[in-house]
Amino acid sequence: MIRTSDAARRTPGYYFPTPLAGAPDGLAAVCAALGHALGATRAARRPEGPLPAGDPTAVLAAAGAPLGPAQLPTEGIGPEGALRLLARVLVEHGVDLTHPHAAAHLQPPPLAVAVAADALADAGNASVDTYDSGPSAIAVERWVVDVLARLAGLGPAADGVLTPGGSLSNLLGLLLARDAAAARRGVDARRHGIAALPGPVVLCSELVHFSVHRACAALGLGEFAVRAIPVDGRRRMRPEALAGVLRNLGPERTPLAVVATAGNTDFGAIDPLPQLAEVTREHGVWLHVDAAYGFGALFSEHLAPRLAGLELADSITVDLHKLGWQPAAASVLLTAGAAAFAPLGREVAYLNPADDTDAGYEGLLGRSLQTTRRADAVKIAATLLAHGRRGLGRLVDTCHGLATHAQQRIAAEPELELVCPVELTTVVFRYRTPYPAMDDEVNARLRRRLAESGRALVGRTATRLAGPGSPRRVCLKFTLLNPAATQRDVDALVDAVLDAGRECLTELDRELDEEGAA
Protein backbone atom coordinates (compact mmCIF):
# COMPACT_ATOMS: atom_id res chain seq x y z
CA MET A 1 0.00 0.00 0.00
CA ILE A 2 1.33 3.42 -0.91
CA ARG A 3 0.69 5.97 1.82
CA THR A 4 -0.18 9.46 0.65
CA SER A 5 3.14 10.78 1.91
CA ASP A 6 5.03 8.25 -0.26
CA ALA A 7 3.18 9.48 -3.33
CA ALA A 8 3.67 13.10 -2.30
CA ARG A 9 7.38 12.51 -1.83
CA ARG A 10 7.73 11.73 -5.54
CA THR A 11 6.14 15.04 -6.55
CA PRO A 12 8.77 17.46 -7.96
CA GLY A 13 9.56 20.28 -5.57
CA TYR A 14 8.16 18.38 -2.60
CA TYR A 15 10.07 19.10 0.61
CA PHE A 16 9.95 16.53 3.37
CA PRO A 17 12.79 17.19 5.80
CA THR A 18 12.52 14.28 8.17
CA PRO A 19 10.16 11.40 8.91
CA LEU A 20 7.28 12.33 11.19
CA ALA A 21 7.96 11.15 14.74
CA GLY A 22 4.56 9.51 15.22
CA ALA A 23 4.62 7.51 11.97
CA PRO A 24 4.79 3.70 12.28
CA ASP A 25 8.59 3.79 11.99
CA GLY A 26 8.89 7.29 13.37
CA LEU A 27 10.64 6.25 16.56
CA ALA A 28 13.45 4.85 14.46
CA ALA A 29 14.02 8.35 13.13
CA VAL A 30 13.83 9.73 16.68
CA CYS A 31 16.41 7.16 17.84
CA ALA A 32 18.68 8.00 14.92
CA ALA A 33 18.39 11.69 15.74
CA LEU A 34 19.15 10.96 19.38
CA GLY A 35 22.15 8.99 18.17
CA HIS A 36 23.55 12.17 16.61
CA ALA A 37 22.95 13.99 19.88
CA LEU A 38 24.61 11.17 21.80
CA GLY A 39 27.69 11.37 19.62
CA ALA A 40 27.93 15.09 20.25
CA THR A 41 27.50 14.75 24.02
CA ARG A 42 30.32 12.19 24.09
CA ALA A 43 32.61 14.48 22.17
CA ALA A 44 31.65 17.57 24.19
CA ARG A 45 33.90 19.04 26.86
CA ARG A 46 31.85 18.59 30.01
CA PRO A 47 32.51 21.11 32.76
CA GLU A 48 34.29 19.47 35.69
CA GLY A 49 31.68 20.58 38.17
CA PRO A 50 27.89 20.80 38.05
CA LEU A 51 27.98 24.30 36.49
CA PRO A 52 30.28 25.81 33.85
CA ALA A 53 33.00 27.89 35.50
CA GLY A 54 32.96 31.63 34.92
CA ASP A 55 30.91 34.68 35.71
CA PRO A 56 27.28 34.47 34.53
CA THR A 57 27.60 37.02 31.71
CA ALA A 58 30.53 35.15 30.17
CA VAL A 59 28.81 31.76 30.57
CA LEU A 60 25.62 32.97 28.88
CA ALA A 61 27.58 34.57 26.04
CA ALA A 62 29.61 31.41 25.46
CA ALA A 63 26.46 29.27 25.49
CA GLY A 64 24.66 31.47 22.96
CA ALA A 65 27.60 32.02 20.60
CA PRO A 66 27.49 28.67 18.70
CA LEU A 67 23.87 29.40 17.70
CA GLY A 68 25.08 32.30 15.57
CA PRO A 69 23.33 35.61 15.06
CA ALA A 70 19.73 35.72 16.31
CA GLN A 71 18.26 35.50 12.85
CA LEU A 72 16.21 32.74 11.27
CA PRO A 73 18.54 31.01 8.80
CA THR A 74 17.25 30.92 5.22
CA GLU A 75 18.56 27.40 4.70
CA GLY A 76 18.65 25.00 7.63
CA ILE A 77 21.64 22.87 8.62
CA GLY A 78 19.48 19.73 8.84
CA PRO A 79 18.34 17.71 11.87
CA GLU A 80 21.73 16.05 12.40
CA GLY A 81 23.62 19.34 12.38
CA ALA A 82 21.04 21.04 14.60
CA LEU A 83 20.99 18.25 17.17
CA ARG A 84 24.76 17.97 17.30
CA LEU A 85 25.07 21.69 17.79
CA LEU A 86 22.44 21.91 20.53
CA ALA A 87 23.64 18.79 22.33
CA ARG A 88 27.08 20.36 22.55
CA VAL A 89 25.72 23.68 23.77
CA LEU A 90 23.62 22.01 26.45
CA VAL A 91 26.40 19.78 27.76
CA GLU A 92 29.25 22.29 27.64
CA HIS A 93 27.40 25.27 29.06
CA GLY A 94 24.54 23.81 31.08
CA VAL A 95 23.81 22.51 34.54
CA ASP A 96 24.68 18.86 35.21
CA LEU A 97 22.10 17.56 37.64
CA THR A 98 23.76 14.15 37.72
CA HIS A 99 26.89 15.70 39.22
CA PRO A 100 27.06 14.75 42.91
CA HIS A 101 27.77 18.38 43.79
CA ALA A 102 24.58 19.71 42.19
CA ALA A 103 22.60 20.42 45.36
CA ALA A 104 20.86 23.77 44.91
CA HIS A 105 17.26 23.25 43.92
CA LEU A 106 14.36 20.81 44.04
CA GLN A 107 15.36 19.80 40.53
CA PRO A 108 16.24 16.12 40.29
CA PRO A 109 18.28 14.33 37.67
CA PRO A 110 15.43 12.66 35.74
CA LEU A 111 15.16 8.92 35.27
CA ALA A 112 15.95 7.54 31.81
CA VAL A 113 12.63 5.69 31.66
CA ALA A 114 10.74 8.95 32.23
CA VAL A 115 12.67 10.81 29.53
CA ALA A 116 12.16 7.97 27.04
CA ALA A 117 8.44 7.82 27.84
CA ASP A 118 8.19 11.59 27.45
CA ALA A 119 9.74 11.34 23.98
CA LEU A 120 7.30 8.54 23.17
CA ALA A 121 4.41 10.74 24.27
CA ASP A 122 5.78 13.70 22.30
CA ALA A 123 5.98 11.58 19.16
CA GLY A 124 2.26 10.91 19.34
CA ASN A 125 1.52 14.51 20.39
CA ALA A 126 -1.82 13.54 21.89
CA SER A 127 -3.72 16.17 23.80
CA VAL A 128 -5.98 15.28 26.68
CA ASP A 129 -8.58 18.02 26.27
CA THR A 130 -10.96 16.06 24.03
CA TYR A 131 -11.57 12.37 23.46
CA ASP A 132 -10.60 12.53 19.81
CA SER A 133 -7.36 14.38 20.52
CA GLY A 134 -5.95 11.40 22.39
CA PRO A 135 -8.00 8.65 24.04
CA SER A 136 -4.98 6.65 25.23
CA ALA A 137 -3.39 9.72 26.79
CA ILE A 138 -6.65 10.41 28.63
CA ALA A 139 -6.76 6.84 29.91
CA VAL A 140 -3.14 7.09 31.10
CA GLU A 141 -3.82 10.38 32.91
CA ARG A 142 -6.88 8.92 34.61
CA TRP A 143 -4.80 5.93 35.72
CA VAL A 144 -2.02 8.14 37.11
CA VAL A 145 -4.52 10.34 38.96
CA ASP A 146 -6.24 7.28 40.48
CA VAL A 147 -2.95 5.70 41.53
CA LEU A 148 -1.74 8.90 43.21
CA ALA A 149 -5.13 9.58 44.85
CA ARG A 150 -5.06 6.09 46.34
CA LEU A 151 -1.48 6.57 47.50
CA ALA A 152 -2.58 9.80 49.18
CA GLY A 153 -5.37 7.87 50.94
CA LEU A 154 -8.19 9.85 49.31
CA GLY A 155 -11.52 8.05 48.96
CA PRO A 156 -13.05 6.46 45.86
CA ALA A 157 -14.66 9.78 44.83
CA ALA A 158 -11.23 11.40 44.42
CA ASP A 159 -10.30 13.13 41.20
CA GLY A 160 -7.46 15.20 39.84
CA VAL A 161 -5.69 16.69 36.90
CA LEU A 162 -2.15 17.21 35.68
CA THR A 163 -0.84 20.77 35.56
CA PRO A 164 2.32 22.51 34.32
CA GLY A 165 3.83 22.80 37.81
CA GLY A 166 3.27 23.12 41.53
CA SER A 167 2.66 26.86 41.28
CA LEU A 168 -0.20 26.20 38.87
CA SER A 169 -1.53 23.30 40.93
CA ASN A 170 -1.72 25.69 43.87
CA LEU A 171 -3.46 28.27 41.65
CA LEU A 172 -5.99 25.70 40.49
CA GLY A 173 -6.57 24.38 44.02
CA LEU A 174 -7.23 27.89 45.27
CA LEU A 175 -9.50 28.64 42.31
CA LEU A 176 -11.64 25.61 43.19
CA ALA A 177 -11.63 26.58 46.87
CA ARG A 178 -12.54 30.19 46.04
CA ASP A 179 -15.46 29.18 43.84
CA ALA A 180 -16.73 26.61 46.36
CA ALA A 181 -16.67 29.21 49.16
CA ALA A 182 -18.36 31.75 46.89
CA ALA A 183 -21.06 29.24 45.93
CA ARG A 184 -21.77 28.62 49.63
CA ARG A 185 -22.46 32.36 49.93
CA GLY A 186 -24.67 32.32 46.85
CA VAL A 187 -22.04 33.99 44.65
CA ASP A 188 -21.28 32.58 41.20
CA ALA A 189 -17.64 33.68 41.02
CA ARG A 190 -17.16 32.45 37.48
CA ARG A 191 -19.87 34.67 36.07
CA HIS A 192 -19.89 37.60 38.43
CA GLY A 193 -16.33 37.72 39.76
CA ILE A 194 -15.68 38.15 43.44
CA ALA A 195 -16.86 41.70 44.08
CA ALA A 196 -19.82 40.29 46.03
CA LEU A 197 -17.59 38.11 48.19
CA PRO A 198 -16.82 39.86 51.47
CA GLY A 199 -13.17 40.02 52.60
CA PRO A 200 -11.70 36.83 51.16
CA VAL A 201 -8.93 35.29 53.28
CA VAL A 202 -6.48 32.45 52.61
CA LEU A 203 -4.73 31.15 55.71
CA CYS A 204 -1.35 29.47 55.62
CA SER A 205 1.94 29.10 57.43
CA GLU A 206 4.30 32.07 57.30
CA LEU A 207 6.64 29.77 55.36
CA VAL A 208 4.13 28.98 52.61
CA HIS A 209 5.45 28.89 49.04
CA PHE A 210 5.25 32.29 47.32
CA SER A 211 3.10 30.78 44.56
CA VAL A 212 0.17 31.01 47.00
CA HIS A 213 0.60 34.80 47.08
CA ARG A 214 0.80 34.91 43.31
CA ALA A 215 -2.28 32.71 43.02
CA CYS A 216 -4.22 35.10 45.25
CA ALA A 217 -3.13 38.01 43.06
CA ALA A 218 -4.13 36.14 39.90
CA LEU A 219 -7.50 35.12 41.35
CA GLY A 220 -8.42 38.72 42.09
CA LEU A 221 -8.16 38.21 45.86
CA GLY A 222 -5.01 40.30 46.19
CA GLU A 223 -1.89 39.21 48.03
CA PHE A 224 -3.19 40.88 51.18
CA ALA A 225 -5.78 38.09 51.33
CA VAL A 226 -2.99 35.82 52.57
CA ARG A 227 -3.02 35.59 56.35
CA ALA A 228 0.25 34.14 57.68
CA ILE A 229 0.01 31.86 60.70
CA PRO A 230 3.14 31.54 62.88
CA VAL A 231 5.22 28.36 62.93
CA ASP A 232 6.68 26.35 65.81
CA GLY A 233 10.36 25.62 66.46
CA ARG A 234 10.36 22.97 63.74
CA ARG A 235 8.84 25.43 61.28
CA ARG A 236 5.36 23.86 61.19
CA MET A 237 2.14 25.84 61.21
CA ARG A 238 0.67 26.09 64.71
CA PRO A 239 -2.90 24.70 64.69
CA GLU A 240 -3.99 26.58 67.80
CA ALA A 241 -2.88 29.86 66.20
CA LEU A 242 -4.88 28.96 63.08
CA ALA A 243 -7.94 28.12 65.18
CA GLY A 244 -7.62 31.46 66.98
CA VAL A 245 -7.48 33.46 63.75
CA LEU A 246 -10.45 31.59 62.23
CA ARG A 247 -12.51 32.09 65.40
CA ASN A 248 -11.94 35.83 65.30
CA LEU A 249 -12.47 36.45 61.60
CA GLY A 250 -15.99 37.83 61.91
CA PRO A 251 -18.81 37.84 59.36
CA GLU A 252 -17.22 40.50 57.15
CA ARG A 253 -14.55 37.99 56.19
CA THR A 254 -14.79 34.89 53.99
CA PRO A 255 -12.17 32.23 54.73
CA LEU A 256 -11.63 30.55 51.35
CA ALA A 257 -9.00 28.00 52.24
CA VAL A 258 -6.32 26.91 54.64
CA VAL A 259 -3.14 26.02 52.79
CA ALA A 260 -1.07 23.52 54.73
CA THR A 261 2.38 22.62 53.48
CA ALA A 262 3.65 19.04 53.47
CA GLY A 263 7.34 19.59 52.93
CA ASN A 264 8.19 23.25 52.65
CA THR A 265 10.76 24.09 50.03
CA ASP A 266 13.60 25.02 52.36
CA PHE A 267 13.23 22.78 55.39
CA GLY A 268 10.94 19.99 54.24
CA ALA A 269 8.86 20.76 57.34
CA ILE A 270 5.44 19.11 57.32
CA ASP A 271 2.56 21.03 58.90
CA PRO A 272 0.54 18.94 61.42
CA LEU A 273 -2.10 17.77 58.96
CA PRO A 274 -4.51 15.90 61.31
CA GLN A 275 -4.77 18.84 63.71
CA LEU A 276 -5.14 21.35 60.87
CA ALA A 277 -7.83 19.17 59.26
CA GLU A 278 -9.72 19.16 62.55
CA VAL A 279 -9.69 22.95 62.63
CA THR A 280 -10.77 23.33 58.98
CA ARG A 281 -13.56 20.78 59.44
CA GLU A 282 -14.85 22.63 62.48
CA HIS A 283 -14.98 25.89 60.52
CA GLY A 284 -16.14 24.38 57.23
CA VAL A 285 -13.08 25.69 55.39
CA TRP A 286 -11.38 24.05 52.39
CA LEU A 287 -8.06 22.37 53.25
CA HIS A 288 -5.51 22.54 50.46
CA VAL A 289 -2.25 20.69 51.14
CA ASP A 290 0.75 21.88 49.17
CA ALA A 291 2.67 18.59 49.02
CA ALA A 292 4.65 19.67 45.95
CA TYR A 293 7.87 18.58 47.60
CA GLY A 294 6.72 16.16 50.31
CA PHE A 295 4.33 13.90 48.40
CA GLY A 296 7.19 11.69 47.20
CA ALA A 297 7.85 10.72 50.83
CA LEU A 298 4.79 8.46 50.46
CA PHE A 299 6.90 6.13 48.31
CA SER A 300 9.09 5.43 51.35
CA GLU A 301 7.71 3.07 53.97
CA HIS A 302 9.94 4.77 56.50
CA LEU A 303 8.89 8.38 55.72
CA ALA A 304 5.25 7.90 54.66
CA PRO A 305 3.86 8.09 58.23
CA ARG A 306 5.05 11.70 58.39
CA LEU A 307 2.33 12.58 55.87
CA ALA A 308 -0.48 11.13 58.00
CA GLY A 309 -3.56 13.29 57.60
CA LEU A 310 -2.96 13.99 53.92
CA GLU A 311 -6.07 11.94 53.20
CA LEU A 312 -8.16 14.59 54.98
CA ALA A 313 -7.36 17.27 52.40
CA ASP A 314 -9.91 18.74 49.97
CA SER A 315 -7.12 19.25 47.44
CA ILE A 316 -3.43 18.34 47.21
CA THR A 317 -0.57 19.67 45.08
CA VAL A 318 1.90 16.99 43.96
CA ASP A 319 5.14 17.64 42.04
CA LEU A 320 6.78 14.51 40.72
CA HIS A 321 9.46 16.65 39.09
CA LYS A 322 10.88 16.95 42.61
CA LEU A 323 10.82 13.79 44.77
CA GLY A 324 9.76 11.67 41.80
CA TRP A 325 12.67 12.08 39.36
CA GLN A 326 10.54 13.27 36.45
CA PRO A 327 11.58 15.87 33.92
CA ALA A 328 9.42 18.97 34.48
CA ALA A 329 6.56 19.32 34.41
CA ALA A 330 4.95 16.45 36.25
CA SER A 331 2.54 18.14 38.61
CA VAL A 332 -0.88 16.98 39.75
CA LEU A 333 -3.74 18.61 41.59
CA LEU A 334 -5.70 15.94 43.44
CA THR A 335 -9.15 16.61 44.87
CA ALA A 336 -11.25 14.67 47.36
CA GLY A 337 -14.19 14.67 44.95
CA ALA A 338 -14.92 15.22 41.26
CA ALA A 339 -17.57 17.85 42.05
CA ALA A 340 -14.76 20.25 42.95
CA PHE A 341 -14.08 20.73 39.25
CA ALA A 342 -17.61 21.97 38.46
CA PRO A 343 -16.50 25.62 38.12
CA LEU A 344 -14.22 24.61 35.22
CA GLY A 345 -16.99 22.92 33.24
CA ARG A 346 -17.37 24.42 29.79
CA GLU A 347 -19.16 23.44 26.63
CA VAL A 348 -17.32 24.53 23.50
CA ALA A 349 -18.91 23.97 20.11
CA TYR A 350 -15.74 22.81 18.38
CA LEU A 351 -14.50 20.63 21.25
CA ASN A 352 -17.17 19.06 23.41
CA PRO A 353 -20.77 19.66 22.30
CA ALA A 354 -23.25 18.17 24.78
CA ASP A 355 -24.54 15.43 22.48
CA ASP A 356 -20.98 14.18 21.87
CA THR A 357 -20.33 14.21 25.60
CA ASP A 358 -23.57 12.33 26.27
CA ALA A 359 -22.47 9.73 23.73
CA GLY A 360 -19.26 9.20 25.73
CA TYR A 361 -16.90 11.37 23.71
CA GLU A 362 -15.43 13.10 26.71
CA GLY A 363 -12.00 14.57 27.36
CA LEU A 364 -10.45 16.40 30.31
CA LEU A 365 -11.18 19.98 29.19
CA GLY A 366 -13.45 20.49 32.20
CA ARG A 367 -10.67 19.89 34.70
CA SER A 368 -8.16 22.41 33.48
CA LEU A 369 -7.60 26.05 32.57
CA GLN A 370 -5.59 24.83 29.60
CA THR A 371 -7.04 23.71 26.29
CA THR A 372 -4.32 21.82 24.41
CA ARG A 373 -2.58 19.83 27.12
CA ARG A 374 0.44 17.52 26.89
CA ALA A 375 0.34 13.86 27.81
CA ASP A 376 2.61 14.46 30.82
CA ALA A 377 1.07 11.43 32.50
CA VAL A 378 2.87 9.04 30.17
CA LYS A 379 6.31 9.58 31.72
CA ILE A 380 4.83 9.35 35.21
CA ALA A 381 3.00 6.12 34.36
CA ALA A 382 6.16 4.63 32.87
CA THR A 383 8.10 5.48 36.02
CA LEU A 384 5.48 4.13 38.42
CA LEU A 385 5.18 0.91 36.42
CA ALA A 386 8.93 0.50 35.96
CA HIS A 387 10.01 1.03 39.55
CA GLY A 388 6.94 0.51 41.69
CA ARG A 389 6.52 1.92 45.15
CA ARG A 390 9.47 -0.02 46.49
CA GLY A 391 11.88 1.16 43.81
CA LEU A 392 10.89 4.80 44.19
CA GLY A 393 10.90 4.40 47.97
CA ARG A 394 14.52 3.30 47.83
CA LEU A 395 15.44 6.41 45.87
CA VAL A 396 13.68 8.58 48.46
CA ASP A 397 15.35 6.75 51.34
CA THR A 398 18.77 7.10 49.74
CA CYS A 399 18.38 10.87 49.38
CA HIS A 400 16.99 11.16 52.90
CA GLY A 401 20.02 9.18 54.11
CA LEU A 402 22.35 11.60 52.33
CA ALA A 403 20.60 14.51 54.03
CA THR A 404 20.92 12.98 57.50
CA HIS A 405 24.58 12.25 56.80
CA ALA A 406 25.10 15.89 55.78
CA GLN A 407 23.32 16.95 58.97
CA GLN A 408 25.70 14.89 61.15
CA ARG A 409 28.73 16.19 59.34
CA ILE A 410 27.55 19.82 59.61
CA ALA A 411 26.74 19.43 63.30
CA ALA A 412 30.30 18.16 63.89
CA GLU A 413 31.98 21.11 62.13
CA PRO A 414 32.67 24.06 64.45
CA GLU A 415 32.67 26.45 61.48
CA LEU A 416 29.16 25.34 60.46
CA GLU A 417 25.83 25.76 62.17
CA LEU A 418 22.82 23.54 61.51
CA VAL A 419 19.71 25.74 61.23
CA CYS A 420 16.94 23.12 61.36
CA PRO A 421 16.80 19.32 61.76
CA VAL A 422 16.46 17.33 58.55
CA GLU A 423 12.93 16.23 57.67
CA LEU A 424 13.13 15.08 54.03
CA THR A 425 16.12 15.68 51.74
CA THR A 426 17.20 19.27 52.40
CA VAL A 427 19.68 20.57 54.96
CA VAL A 428 19.77 24.26 55.90
CA PHE A 429 22.91 25.55 57.61
CA ARG A 430 25.31 28.49 57.82
CA TYR A 431 28.99 29.15 57.69
CA ARG A 432 29.98 30.83 60.94
CA THR A 433 32.62 33.54 61.09
CA PRO A 434 34.26 35.07 64.16
CA TYR A 435 32.35 38.28 63.31
CA PRO A 436 28.59 37.57 63.37
CA ALA A 437 27.89 40.87 61.61
CA MET A 438 29.72 39.50 58.56
CA ASP A 439 28.04 36.10 58.47
CA ASP A 440 25.36 37.02 55.92
CA GLU A 441 27.91 38.51 53.55
CA VAL A 442 30.27 35.54 53.84
CA ASN A 443 27.51 32.96 53.27
CA ALA A 444 26.20 34.80 50.21
CA ARG A 445 29.69 35.27 48.79
CA LEU A 446 30.83 31.72 49.36
CA ARG A 447 27.89 30.34 47.44
CA ARG A 448 28.59 32.61 44.48
CA ARG A 449 32.27 31.70 44.69
CA LEU A 450 31.41 28.00 44.45
CA ALA A 451 29.03 28.62 41.54
CA GLU A 452 31.53 30.76 39.67
CA SER A 453 34.28 28.18 40.12
CA GLY A 454 31.80 25.58 38.86
CA ARG A 455 32.90 23.28 41.70
CA ALA A 456 29.65 23.00 43.57
CA LEU A 457 26.08 24.19 43.27
CA VAL A 458 24.67 24.88 46.70
CA GLY A 459 21.31 26.41 47.56
CA ARG A 460 20.68 29.61 49.43
CA THR A 461 17.79 30.95 51.44
CA ALA A 462 17.05 33.36 54.25
CA THR A 463 15.30 32.56 57.49
CA ARG A 464 14.85 33.68 61.08
CA LEU A 465 17.31 31.89 63.34
CA ALA A 466 15.60 32.91 66.58
CA GLY A 467 11.87 33.32 67.18
CA PRO A 468 9.31 35.59 65.51
CA GLY A 469 10.51 39.10 64.88
CA SER A 470 14.21 38.15 64.74
CA PRO A 471 15.94 39.19 61.51
CA ARG A 472 16.14 36.91 58.51
CA ARG A 473 19.68 35.66 57.99
CA VAL A 474 21.30 34.27 54.87
CA CYS A 475 21.62 30.49 55.01
CA LEU A 476 23.04 27.78 52.79
CA LYS A 477 21.05 24.75 51.71
CA PHE A 478 21.81 21.35 50.31
CA THR A 479 18.91 19.93 48.31
CA LEU A 480 19.90 16.29 47.92
CA LEU A 481 17.95 14.61 45.12
CA ASN A 482 20.66 12.58 43.42
CA PRO A 483 20.25 8.95 44.48
CA ALA A 484 23.53 8.09 42.75
CA ALA A 485 25.51 10.35 45.09
CA THR A 486 27.33 8.86 48.08
CA GLN A 487 28.15 9.94 51.61
CA ARG A 488 31.68 10.59 50.40
CA ASP A 489 30.29 13.01 47.79
CA VAL A 490 28.39 14.80 50.55
CA ASP A 491 31.58 15.02 52.62
CA ALA A 492 33.41 16.54 49.66
CA LEU A 493 30.57 19.01 49.23
CA VAL A 494 30.86 20.06 52.89
CA ASP A 495 34.64 20.38 52.41
CA ALA A 496 34.10 22.61 49.38
CA VAL A 497 31.82 24.86 51.47
CA LEU A 498 34.42 25.04 54.25
CA ASP A 499 37.21 25.93 51.79
CA ALA A 500 35.10 28.59 50.10
CA GLY A 501 34.05 29.99 53.48
CA ARG A 502 37.66 30.36 54.62
CA GLU A 503 38.64 31.98 51.33
CA CYS A 504 35.76 34.47 51.53
CA LEU A 505 36.61 35.28 55.12
CA THR A 506 40.26 36.01 54.21
CA GLU A 507 39.11 38.10 51.28
CA LEU A 508 36.68 40.12 53.42
CA ASP A 509 39.34 40.59 56.10
CA ARG A 510 41.69 41.97 53.46
CA GLU A 511 39.02 44.30 52.07
CA LEU A 512 38.29 45.63 55.56
CA ASP A 513 42.01 46.16 56.25
CA GLU A 514 42.37 48.07 53.01
CA GLU A 515 39.33 50.20 53.87
CA GLY A 516 40.78 50.81 57.33
CA ALA A 517 44.16 51.82 55.88
CA ALA A 518 42.57 54.14 53.31
Ligand X SMILES: *Cc1c(COP(=O)(O)O)cnc(C)c1O
Residue closer to ligand X (CB basis): 261 or 280 = 261
Is residue 263 within 8 Å of residue 289, measured between CB atoms? Answer: no
Question: Could you say whether residue 315 binds ligand X (CB under 6 A)?
Answer: no
**Residues 45-74 as b or e (16 or more Cβ within 10 Å = b):** eebebbbbebeeeebeeeeeeeeeeeeeee
Stretch that binds ligand X, among 150-158, 241-249, 290-298, 487-495 (CB under 6 A): 290-298
Q: Each residue of 5-25: b (16+ CB within 10 Å) or e?
A: eeeeeeeeeeeeeebebeeee
Q: Is 290 in the site for ligand X (CB under 6 A)?
A: yes
Closest to ligand X by CB, 167 or 407: 167
Q: What is the radius of gyration, based on Cα positions, of the chain?
A: 26
C-alpha span between 442 and 437 (Å, rounded): 10
Question: Cα–Cα distances in Å, from 145 out to 272, 338, 420, 489?
Answer: 25, 12, 34, 36
Check: CB of residue 477 under 8 Å from CB of residue 458: yes
84, 99, 209, 449: which one binds ligand X (CB under 6 A): 209
Question: Which positions from 94 to 123 touch ligand X by CB under 6 A, shown as an x/- string?
Answer: ------------x-----------------
Q: Is 325 in the site for ligand X (CB under 6 A)?
A: no
Does residue 374 interact with ligand X by CB under 6 A?
Answer: no
Confirm or reject binding of residue 261 to ligand X (CB under 6 A).
Answer: yes
The least CB distance from residue 232 to ligand X, in Å, is 18
211 binds ligand X (CB under 6 A): yes
Q: Which is nearer to ligand X, 327 or 454 (CB)?
A: 327
Binding mask 439-468 for ligand X (x = CB under 6 A): ------------------------------
The three-class DSSP label of residue 201 is: strand
Alpha carbons 206 and 124: distance in angstroms, whole number: 44
Inter-CA distances, 103 with 27, 126, 203, 427, Å: 34, 35, 31, 10
Contact status: 319 vs ligand X (CB under 6 A): yes
Cα gap 213→425, rounded to integer Å = 25
Minimum separation from the CB atom of position 293 to ligand X (A): 4
Applying CB under 6 A, which of residues 172, 177, 269, 292 lies at the interface with ligand X?
Answer: 292
**Interface region with ligand X, contact rule CB under 6 A, candidates 166-174, 386-394, 450-458, 462-470:** 166-174
The size of the interface with ligand X (CB under 6 A), counted in residues, is 15
Residues that bind ligand X (CB under 6 A): 106, 165-167, 170, 209, 211, 261, 264-265, 290, 292-293, 319, 331
